[in-house]
Amino acid sequence: MCFDGKRPVCAVVLFALLVMHPSRAQVHIPADKARDADAAFRAGYAALSNHKLQEAREDFQKVVHLVPQIEEGHSALGAVLLQLNAYPEAISELKQALKLKPEDASAETNLAVAYANSGRDGEAVPLFIKLDQSATSAGQSLPVDVLLAYARSLAATGQMAGATERIKQAVTLSPSDAALRDALGSLYAQQGEWTLAAVAFTAALRLDPELAVAHLHLGIVLLNRQQIDTALPELTTAARLAPQNAMVQLTLGKALAQTGNVEDALPVLKAAVALDASNQDAKYQLALAYQAGGQFKEALPLFQEVARTDTGNAPLLTNLALDMVQLGDAKGAIPIFDRALLLTPDVVTVHEDLGVAYLQESDVDDALREFRAGLKLNPSDPQLHYNLGLALKLKDDLNGAIPELETAGKLDPGAPDPPFTLGILYMQQGRFDDAAQQLSTALKLRPKNSDGWAVLGSVYLQQNKLSEAASALAEAIRLSPNIPGPHITLAGVFAQQGKQREAAAERKIAADLTRVAVNHQRATFATNTGNMLFEKGQIADAIARYQEALANDPNFAEAHRQLAVALAREGRTAEAEIERKKADNLQPPQP
């Protein structure tokens, strides 16, 4: 056998003797064909020596055409085709060579490698075994690259122990080869031997700190060992060393998203998609990152594209449907949830999410059915008890709702929603002491809930605890100073305390806020009307509506922005720029 660098090739030096002295080959070859074949073979060998593979291929094809009965031509052509990754053609030529000369070890080696490289591992393994036995009998070892191909075929056929031994043998023969250490680590990782895999990858990086694939593989092993803090630097290094490798970018992006670092994950996942637009997993992970970051509109087309090709993926369908619900399309999401349920009928979260979609569609009965189905599968799910309680509340079944909400609170004492909702229900039932207790619990868990402080203030007022009511309402106002309701309630508290001047001041504030809210509603309505007129091409009428909106609410950024667009359409560029600047000052555009 002879090898050129890392890939086995065959250069048959006896070919000229065979064609020029046909008696040695025991075949009759006309002298002119022998000369032409000899010249073609010499030219092919020279081209092969200079790594001009296409020229060598053409020359050896001439040889095979001129003297098809000579094995060495087929063997040489098969070796070149192997280097060109033309595996079916290489296999055909090498099989013909072995048919003519079964003892040709070079042809047999190249054929085994061709089978391995083309995924025909079941055919490759018997040849590798034979070659290995022959080498062992001669007190030798297979060359490193043959061992590597042999190991790949063994691994592909499930013979992991044998594959590992072959790579370890290759490492012994070439201890300074970092790629071999990486290959050994990959085999350990496939067997779940994470510690041994990490040792092998670390050894590879000691030999070659710039080996991107070893950084990637070590990062993946660390992720599997839940050591994400040490995995991220390895994956980041891999991405720096191999910025054009989509898989490296995808793995780093997934790891960043896993840590909740969506802001950093998004550009990395976008890069992965840009590098390999056919990678559906990259698109799915990007969609998930968008969804996690609240960018539901950006996530939707990616979910939809992946779902068109991966129709049997229940988690994908569930996330697509969830995204649609977040965008207000519960009606369209429901049949997608149904498809996910057909695939995974025992997944609790699908029942829960479908129930939420039904609630969004005001279909309380179907929502109740799904929440109860989920609770049959997992009776200890606090969110399902909470959702069931909410649905029962919507049906005015307070006797059914309250036990569910109480159960949710007991199962998850750290959740603020169950005690908050219970507080409101207790208040509606006149159970003010219980309401105050539940609302206080909820506000300890979520102290920035201005609505909660406002409701608690109302409960204290009902209990005639005026000082506590004033404090709670003051906190509600501090958190949300532009909501009229708490000011009105606080005015009532002050009135009962005999603080008439303070009560009058709060009523005035409430009246002013109510007027502002009404004016903003009018401005919103006028702006929406202007948008419809603009879409119809009625630009002058649209401008009038936008100006009407700004007369009601001069600080409405959207009205300024839309007015700028409409003015620009009429060629009034200077006025448009003024409106655009006003809009940007009120609400800077998103980056």
Average pLDDT, the chain: 91
CA 574 to chain centre: 45
Residue-wise pLDDT for 531-570, tens only, equals 999 888 898 888 889 889 888 889 999 989 999 998 888 8
Last residue of a domain, one of 118, 152, 180: 118
7 beta partners: 4
Query: Which of 422, 355, 410 is CA-nearest to residue 387?
Result: 355
- Positive or negative, the Cα torsion across 436, 441, 443, 447? positive
- Please check whether residues 9 and 89 belong to one and the same domain: yes
CB of 84 closer than 8 Å to CB of 57:
yes
Tokens read off for 554 = 């001069």
pLDDT of 520 reads: 86
Asked whether residue 152 is assigned to any structural domain, the reply reads no
- Please check whether residues 493 and 570 belong to one and the same domain: no
Last residue of a domain, one of 402, 428, 455: 402
Tokens read off for 63 = 């040889």
Picking from 31-40, 142-151, 432-441, which range would have the lowest pLDDT averaged per residue?
Answer: 31-40
Asked whether residue 576 is assigned to any structural domain, the reply reads yes
- C-alpha triplet 82, 83, 86: angle, nearest 5°: 50
pLDDT band at 5 (very low <50, low <70, confident <90, very high): very low
Asked whether residue 347 is assigned to any structural domain, the reply reads yes
- Please check whether residues 428 and 323 belong to one and the same domain: no
Asked whether residue 253 is assigned to any structural domain, the reply reads no
Q: For residue 587, give the DSSP letter.
A: S
pLDDT of 553 reads: 87
Query: Which of 231, 138, 145 is CA-nearest to residue 183?
Result: 145
- Please check whether residues 397 and 444 belong to one and the same domain: no
- Please check whether residues 513 and 494 belong to one and the same domain: no
pLDDT of 18 reads: 45
- What's the count of helices (H) and strands (E) in the chain, helices before strands? 33, 2
pLDDT band at 517 (very low <50, low <70, confident <90, very high): confident
Residue-wise pLDDT for 118-150, tens only, equals 999 999 999 999 999 999 999 999 999 999 999
What is the full DSSP assignment across 236-267? HHHHHH-TT-HHHHHHHHHHHHHTT-HHHHHH
Asked whether residue 151 is assigned to any structural domain, the reply reads no
- Please check whether residues 494 and 558 belong to one and the same domain: no
Phi, psi at 4, each rounded to 5°: -110, 100
pLDDT band at 13 (very low <50, low <70, confident <90, very high): very low
One-letter amino acid identity for 216?
L
- Please check whether residues 85 and 56 belong to one and the same domain: yes
- Positive or negative, the Cα torsion across 426, 427, 433, 436? positive
Ramachandran class of 276: left when φ > 0, alpha when ψ lies in -120 to 50, beta otherwise? beta
- 82's CB contacts (< 8 A; 6+ apart) are 7, 8, 9, 90, 94, 110, 113, 114, 117
- 3-class secondary structure for 45-105? HHHHHCCCHHHHHHHHHHHHHHCCCCHHHHHHHHHHHHHCCCHHHHHHHHHHHHHHCCCCH
Q: For residue 4, give the DSSP letter.
A: E
Q: Is the pLDDT of residue 591 over 80?
A: no
What total of structural domains would you count in the chain? 4
Query: Which of 116, 115, 76, 80 is CA-nearest to residue 96?
Result: 76
Picking from 8-22, 39-53, 370-384, 479-493, which range would have the lowest pLDDT averaged per residue?
Answer: 8-22
- Please check whether residues 426 and 390 belong to one and the same domain: no
- Please check whether residues 556 and 576 belong to one and the same domain: yes
Rounded mean pLDDT, 353-369: 95
Per cent of the chain over pLDDT 90 is 79
**CB atoms near residue 87 (< 10 Å):** 18
Asked whether residue 411 is assigned to any structural domain, the reply reads no
Asked whether residue 247 is assigned to any structural domain, the reply reads no
* Whether pTM exceeds 0.75: no
- Please check whether residues 108 and 2 belong to one and the same domain: yes
The CATH number for 384's domain is 1.25.40.10
Residue-wise pLDDT for 170-217, tens only, equals 999 999 999 999 999 999 999 999 999 999 999 999 999 999 999 999
- Please check whether residues 370 and 344 belong to one and the same domain: yes
Distance CA 100, CA 180 (A): 35
Residue-wise pLDDT for 243-271, tens only, equals 999 999 999 999 999 888 899 999 999 99
- Please check whether residues 530 and 542 belong to one and the same domain: yes
Residue-wise pLDDT for 82-122, tens only, equals 999 999 999 999 999 999 999 999 999 999 999 999 999 99
CA 30 to chain centre: 66
CB of 142 closer than 8 Å to CB of 132:
yes
Q: Is the pLDDT of residue 19 over 60?
A: no
237 vs 586 pLDDT, higher one = 237
pLDDT of 14 reads: 38
Asked whether residue 483 is assigned to any structural domain, the reply reads yes
Q: What domain range includes position 64?
A: 1-118
Last residue of a domain, one of 498, 522, 551: 498
CA 371 to chain centre: 29
327 vs 30 pLDDT, higher one = 327
